[in-house]
Amino acid sequence: MTKELGLRERKKIKTRRTISAAAMRLFVERGFENVSIAEVAEAAEVSKMTVFNYFGTKEDLVFDRQDEVVHGPSRTVRTRPPGMSAVTALRDAYLDDLRSRDPLVAFSEGIETFARLLDSSPALQARTREIFERREAELAATFAEEDRVGDGGLTARLVAGQVTAVHRVLFHESCRRLLDGQDPDEIAGRLAQAAQNAFDLLEAGIGKDYCVRREGE
């Protein structure tokens, strides 16, 4: 039974990747708005219904890892060690992702294709804004669980808005530099410095004691 489930899951992963690859190829060649789901299905040699079984919307074909983008900061805050503030944990996580060239910070080999596709499509730009809004809302809820400010979550929402603004600006700066054809190592260095400065400003404004994890939590 375990082997059977493993085979089924592998087939699902393969189908998902096949659909995603076919979609991205068509989007890059012709533009996101100029490709239909039916054409993606034909290129992937699956039915239109199969595409929707794996991807709820056409935009989801591009933002295949959006759940990681939305949930990542909250997960970072929830799993930080005792004695560490939320801002420090988020700073460390961003810099770690930058060093590893994680695509979720819009910086990895081949990500220029994604940046160009995003730059050319109003629909994908709108989805990007929506993803950051969802990310901010979840992060605000996470802060509200821990900050003990007692203002109905207002401080948590303000802090989440500031953190998300940093992530959003750095994401778009990375895309801008990639589209300008700048050297990847130079981009990484500039983003790292910009992130340090941004999180220093956040820490100075928010305070080093905001959402510091206590022992036993």
Closest CA relative to residue 205, chosen from 146, 161, 152? 161
Q: Which pLDDT does position 1 carry in this prediction?
A: 43
What averages of pLDDT result for each successive group of 10 residues across the chain (217 residues)? 67 93 94 96 96 95 91 95 93 92 73 88 96 97 90 94 96 91 87 95 89 76
Topology of domain 66-206 in CATH is: Tetracycline Repressor; domain 2 (1.10.357)
Q: Which pLDDT does position 216 carry in this prediction?
A: 60
Q: Which pLDDT does position 217 carry in this prediction?
A: 60
pTM attached to this predicted model: 0.87
* Burial track 133-145 (b if 16+ CB lie within 10 A, e otherwise): ebbbbbbbebbbe
**3-class DSSP assignment, residue 101:** coil
Residues of the chain with CATH 1.10.10.60: 2-58
Topology of domain 2-58 in CATH is: Arc Repressor Mutant, subunit A (1.10.10)
